[in-house]
Structure 1
Amino acid sequence: MQTQINRDPEQLDHRTCRSICDAVGERLQRSIRPETDLPSRLRELVDELVRRDRTRYPGHLR
């Protein structure tokens, strides 16, 4: 699947995009508690995302 880049001047800047991603992530963390039983593959993927985030943004995640 190809992605077309939109050069629209109203395109979100990096800071705004990051804020939106953080807000969505926080809401998902509240919705999907660790005690929620996830399928094993989905649990593996979530754990991998957490590891990557901790590597890229040390001190950012609890």
Structure 2
Amino acid sequence: MSSRTDDPSKTLDRATSRSICDAVGERLRRDLQPEPLQRSSRLEDLIDQLRQRDHESRARS
């Protein structure tokens, strides 16, 4: 895609273009952050079981 134009009043200088790109990028990073994982109670139970087994196996070693 070409962004060239013959009308100089519709062109952006390099600094302005960079500033706009940085602002858009920052907004995207902020708005598109992944939401924290909501674990189900079943998953929490399984994780607890793994921790317990790990603790027991270390106690036997």
TM-score range, shorter chain: 0.3 to 0.5
TM-score by length of 2: 0.46
TM-score by length of 1: 0.45
> Which of the pair has more CA radius of gyration?
2
Identify the structure with the greater helix proportion: 2
